[in-house]
Amino acid sequence: MFTRIAAMVIGSFLLGIGINGFLVPHHLLDGGFIGIALLLQYYFHFPAGLCSALLSLPLIIYAWIKDRKQFHGSFYGMILTALFIDLLAPFHFFLPIAPSAILGGAICGVAVGLMLRYETSTAGTDLLAYFIAKITPINIGILFVIIDGLIVLSGYQVLGMQSVLFSSITILVAGTLASICYERF
C-alpha cells in the first residue's frame, strides 16, 4: 500500500512539473482530460487541474462500479494530480519548444506509466485506456496515442499548427514511456 501511495504522489507531482514546467510555456497540449483542461486554460483561463478533475468524474463513477481497487487509486490520484497541476502552475522552464515538448512528454509519460503500474491513475483517459487494455489486446501505449492524438488535433483551431505538431511529439513520447513504465518495470 505504501508503494501505491508513493507512486500516486510521485506521479501526480511529476505531472504537475511536466505540464507546467514544459508544456504551458509554449501552449502545448498533453492528451486526455488534462489536454482538454489545458485547452480550457489557454482559451478561458480556467484552472487546468480543477477542469481535469471535473472532466474525470464520469470515469471515476465507472471505476466505482467496475473496479473498486482502481477507483480508490484513481480518485485520490485525480485529486492529487489536480492539486499539483494548479499548485505548480507558476513554475515554468523556458526552454526552446522542441526540448520542452520532448521533456514534457517524457516526464508526463513516466508519471502516468508509474501510476498505472501501481493501479492508480489521474482518472482521465489513462483510466479509460487502462479499462480498454484490460478487455482488448491493444497495447496501452497505442491507446494513449490514439486518444491523445484526437484531443491534440481538436486544439488546432485554438492553438495553431505549431502547437499541434509539437504537442504530437509530446504525446508520442509520453505514450511510449507510459507503455514502457507500465509493462516493463
Residue 119 pLDDT: 80
Residue 129 pLDDT: 77
Cell 501510476 -> residue: 115
The mean pLDDT values, 10 residues at a time, for the chain of 185 residues are 91 97 96 91 95 92 84 88 96 96 96 87 77 84 79 88 95 88 73
Residue 133 pLDDT: 82
Q: How many whole angstroms separate alpha carbon 24 and alpha carbon 91?
A: 10
Please enumerate, as own/partner, the contacts of 1-4 that have beta carbons within 8 Å and a separation of 24 or more. 3/118, 4/73, 4/118, 4/119, 4/120
Q: What sign does the dihedral 127-133-139-142 (CA atoms) show?
A: negative
Residue 88 pLDDT: 97
Tell me which H or E stretch contains 55.
helix 48-66
The length of the chain, given as a count of residues: 185
- Answer whether 0.85 is exceeded by the pTM: yes
Q: How many whole angstroms separate alpha carbon 163 and alpha carbon 167?
A: 6
